[in-house]
A and B are shown apart, each in its own frame.
Chain A
Amino acid sequence: GAVVSQHPSWVICKSGTSVKIECRSLDFQATTMFWYRQFPKQSLMLMATSNEGSKATYEQGVEKDKFLINHASLTLSTLTVTSAHPEDSSFYICSAITETQYFGPGTRLLVL
């Protein structure tokens, strides 16, 4: 099946710094990718829809200036958590669509 990768798989950073997470579709092109956040023992929550060549669409309550999304190519979308705070600590998962939706392995972010 199709493969979606994320990098890094985990990251620890200090409060106030910015962190960039990459999402790549390895064997297919994806004009649309999705970014999710998952807190412990909860289900995935859609943060935003990343569209290649255009602005991302953010879900209600998600700050677009804090979670910067760039979808510069058909195989890469990036999520930058700016000025990260401890409450941003979470599991971030991206997904991309080909014949169905494939999820990446996730990135665990810990903000100290």
Chain B
Amino acid sequence: KNQVEQSPQSLIILEGKNCTLQCNYTVSPFSNLRWYKQDTGRGPVSLTIMTFSENTKSNGRYTATLDADTKQSSLHITASQLSDSASYICVVSGSSYNTDKLIFGTGTRLQVFP
């Protein structure tokens, strides 16, 4: 069964600290893995997208890694800011983007406190 699991379910950190979110997937075939940030009451916004051959991709203070052998990904947030408080969703695509069926993780809810 195609699944995407994320951990932790929720996380609280202090402003300025780093954190790492985890994503394990059992999706086959595999096309790409994306990390999205979703603010409360808003639609998801893309942070990174990685294909099978990519191991790491950065977007500002966000760095995603992908190990296609172990089917694991992580999202590292550096020097967290209050605005980083949101849900972070790992999404795996099992097909080409033209028929973009996405498998969503349940998300990690991050809260950054001052």
On whether the beta carbons of B41 and A103 are closer than 8 Å, the reply is no
Q: Does A101 count as interface, using CB distance less than 8 angstroms? A: yes
Question: Which residues of A are found within 8 Å of B45, using beta-carbon distances?
Answer: 103
Name the distance in Å between A60's Cβ and chain B's nearest Cβ: 13
Most buried by A among B44, B97, B106: B44
Bound together, the chains give a CA A91 to CA B41 distance in angstroms of 8
Bound together, the chains give a CA A86 to CA B109 distance in angstroms of 26
The SS class assigned to the A binding surface is strand
Given contacts A93-B43, A103-B43, A108-B41, contact A43 B98 (CB under 8 A): no
Interface residues of A in 69-112 (CB under 8 A from B): 91, 93, 95, 97, 99-106, 108
Chain B interface extent, by class: 20 to 34
Interface string of B55-71 (1 = CB under 8 A from A): 00000000000000000
Given contacts A97-B97, A100-B49, contact A43 B105 (CB under 8 A): yes
Number of interface residues of A (CB under 8 A): 24
Of A44, A46, A100, A106, which contacts B46 at CB under 8 A? A100
* Closest partner residue, chain A, to B109 (CB atom): A41
* Closest partner residue, chain B, to A93 (CB atom): B43
On whether the beta carbons of A44 and B97 are closer than 8 Å, the reply is no
Q: Does B100 count as interface, using CB distance less than 8 angstroms? A: yes
Q: Does B112 count as interface, using CB distance less than 8 angstroms? A: no
Q: Does B30 count as interface, using CB distance less than 8 angstroms? A: no
Q: Which residues from chain A sit less than 8 Å from chain B, CB to CB? A: 1, 4, 6, 32, 34, 41-46, 91, 93, 95, 97, 99-106, 108
Q: Which residues from chain B sit less than 8 Å from chain A, CB to CB? A: 34, 36, 41-46, 49, 89, 97-102, 104-107, 109
